[in-house]
Amino acid sequence: MDFRDKQAIYLQIADHVSEQILLGRWTPGERIPSVRELAAELEVNPNTVMRTYEFLSQQNVIVNKRGIGYFPADDATDTIRAFRREQFLQNDLPQFFKNLTLLNIDLAEIETRYGQYIHETNAAQ
């Protein structure tokens, strides 16, 4: 995993964990990697992963079953999507609109390219 400078590492790991859940790689009822396992995989300090897991537990994305490990919450996918959607609408979309305006790109071109992206993504699966 390549870490970016502008965001705390524990939040970047939280994004990674959330993405694994959204992609269906880690499902409710299935134990996710332990703190030590994920720390070794990502080559970070276990305390950083622990902070990530505590953050995700507070967000109701994962649950800790004492003595067994961490698991995605039953509604983790919905929780993650709602959080990411709001984050996108508040932070990313205004910058996207600004770039459209500055670069003189109209929505028809965006719609065409989005259609191509969907087509290519579906063809690859």
Across the chain, what does the average pLDDT equal?
Answer: 94
What span, in angstroms and rounded, lies between the C-alpha atoms of 89 and 116?
A: 23
Q: Same structural domain for residues 13 and 68?
A: yes
In a domain, 19, yes or no: yes
Please give the C-alpha separations between residue 109 and each of 88, 106, 112, 117, in angstroms, as whole numbers: 21, 6, 5, 12
The DSSP secondary structure of 43-106, one letter per residue, reads TS-HHHHHHHHHHHHHTTSEEEETTTEEEE-TTHHHHHHHHHHHHIIIIIHHHHHHHHHHHT--
Domain count, the chain: 2
Q: Same structural domain for residues 35 and 70?
A: yes
Q: Same structural domain for residues 84 and 63?
A: no
Confidence label for 121 from pLDDT (cuts 50, 70 and 90):
confident
**All residues at 6 or more sequence positions from 12 whose CB lies less than 8 Å from its CB, including other chains:** 1, 3, 4
Residue range 76-90: mean pLDDT, rounded: 95
Q: Same structural domain for residues 34 and 86?
A: no
Q: Same structural domain for residues 53 and 90?
A: no
Q: What pLDDT score was predicted for residue 2?
A: 74
Task: Tokens 């109209």: give the residue.
Answer: 106
What span, in angstroms and rounded, lies between the C-alpha atoms of 20 and 73?
A: 13
Q: What pLDDT score was predicted for residue 46?
A: 97
Q: Same structural domain for residues 120 and 84?
A: yes
- Other beta carbons within 10 angstroms of residue 7's beta carbon come to 11
In a domain, 4, yes or no: no
Q: What domain range includes position 90?
A: 77-124
Q: What pLDDT score was predicted for residue 4?
A: 79
Residue 52 Ramachandran class (φ > 0 left, ψ -120 to 50 alpha, else beta) = alpha
Residue range 74-85: mean pLDDT, rounded: 96
Q: Same structural domain for residues 21 and 63?
A: yes
Q: Same structural domain for residues 15 and 57?
A: yes
Q: What pLDDT score was predicted for residue 14?
A: 96
Q: Same structural domain for residues 47 and 96?
A: no
Q: What is the pLDDT of residues 33-51, one digit of tens each?
A: 999 999 999 999 999 999 9
Q: Same structural domain for residues 42 and 86?
A: no
